[in-house]
Amino acid sequence: MAQLGNDPPAHKTEQRKALYLYFSLPILSWALYDFANTIFSSNIITIFFPFYLQEVIGGSERLNQIASTFISYANALSSLFLVIFTPLFGVLIDRTGKKKKYIIPLTLIAVLCTVLMGVFSVAGLEQTVNGLPITLFLVVLFYVIAKFFYNSSLVFYDAMISDLGTKKEIPLISGFGVAVGYVGTVVGLTVYLYVGNDGFHEAFIPTAILYLLFSLPLFFLIKEKPTGQEEKKSFFSGYKEIIATFKEMKAYRSTFLFLIVYFFINDALATTIAMMAIYAKAIVGFTSGQFIILYLVSTVTAIIGSFIFGYVTKALGAKKAVEVVGFLLLFALAIATFAINEAMFWFAGSLFGVALGAVWVTSRTLIVELTPEHKRGQFFGLFAFSGKISSIIGPFIYGTITLVLAEYGNLASRFALGSLMILVLIGLIVHQKVKTSEV
């Protein structure tokens, strides 16, 4: 196990008190990276990129659905590349023991592409494609690349958690990291004060700066010492090791079952995150300002949910905690699908925030609980792989429903969001077969 910072190896320490745990240099630096990447996730993926597309493309109920399709397919394309590479990242972790070495360049590329989104959004190029400005396609291209590298960095970041503490401490560390991450959302939304209710492309470059700034503690303050000798093998040869792990599926049955569970739950989560801005504006009639406030409220509930679920997970066990989160998500989606007024959507958004904050706490903890240390990198890679496949299928289904039913206007989005409830139900059914005593 890699040693981080100046703390003794986690397996040699007694369980630490919460305050010392949270404010030790390695854990605080690790949590601040969650703070940084959540700024990117909320500002770019959830809010300002969708608003930008709606601003450029939208204008009627039908065009709003086309904008939704555009966003969905852009997210699906980014996830397609992640499906190819994330399992290999997990193998790379097991071979080298290194995480930070890869987090740094992946983050820097994501930051650069976010800056380029801002540059090309104001480039003023006159060329058009099918009546749409070429700058729009360039912004979408750099969005796809930025999101790919952002998500790639998370494979290494998530795997780093097992180096930070004992198994009993990991639920608390995970909850703390997610809570700090959602505080980053609040800080990131200060960009809205600069942007206002139009010209949403102006948020891209300030977001990139904040993303980089709060990544620096992890870059400079965490010292990583890999264990063992680095294996000299080609990157793509990692598929052989992945295939070998799949052949041993019976030995890791519960782990593979949970990857299926995560596939369905994350499918609903990722799609909702990507589409909630346009849904709130088109279906419930929220203004940009109202949605920003809703998002702030959801963020506060996510902070509360993630912190509390660290303790809930420790008390109930990771498996039971995941089940509770699944039912919370199901309830939130039901309310949002059938919302007939703003009050219902406010409640749904707040409940979704709790589920969103809690899912990362519970799922990361369960992966650590289910996997042996020598294959943990691979399974974190497959964990990300499962999430990214779902991030293709979910937005693709949502976008296809809104495209096919575009002539029905806002009803199309209600059908699309309602379809996500089926995915959560499937995940909860499969989750009953997961056993936590195998590893």
Q: What is the mean pLDDT of residues 327-337?
A: 93
Which CA distances in Å does 30 have to 160, 208, 254? 8, 19, 28
* pLDDT given for residue 104 in this prediction: 95
Residues paired with residue 3 on neighbouring β-strands, in sequence order = 225
Greatest alpha-carbon pair distance for the chain in Å reads 64
The Cα 437–Cα 439 span in angstroms is 6
The Cα 277–Cα 287 span in angstroms is 10
What does the pLDDT look like over 179-212, one tens digit per residue?
Answer: 888 888 889 988 888 887 777 888 999 999 999 9
What does the pLDDT look like over 366-382, one tens digit per residue?
Answer: 887 887 776 766 777 77
* pLDDT given for residue 103 in this prediction: 94
What does the pLDDT look like over 259-268, one tens digit per residue?
Answer: 888 889 988 8
225 SS3 class? strand
Q: What is the mean pLDDT of residues 109-118?
A: 96
Domains observed in the chain:
24-225+239-431 (1.20.1250.20)
What confidence tier does 13 reach under pLDDT thresholds 50, 70, 90? very low
Question: Pairing relation of β-strands 224-225 and 3-4?
Answer: antiparallel
Other beta carbons within 10 Å of 159: 27
pLDDT exceeds cutoff 50 at 40: yes
Which CA distances in Å does 129 have to 123, 132, 339, 372? 16, 5, 37, 51
What does the pLDDT look like over 276-321, one tens digit per residue?
Answer: 877 887 787 888 788 888 888 888 898 888 888 888 888 888 889 9
What does the pLDDT look like over 120-164, one tens digit per residue?
Answer: 888 766 676 666 677 888 888 899 999 999 989 998 998 888 778
Cite the DSSP H helix spans in 196-252.
204-213, 216-221, 238-247
- Burial label for 275, CB within 10 Å (0-12, 13-18, 19+), is buried
User: pTM to 2 decimals?
Assistant: 0.71
What does the pLDDT look like over 404-420, one tens digit per residue?
Answer: 887 777 788 888 888 89
The Cα 369–Cα 363 span in angstroms is 10
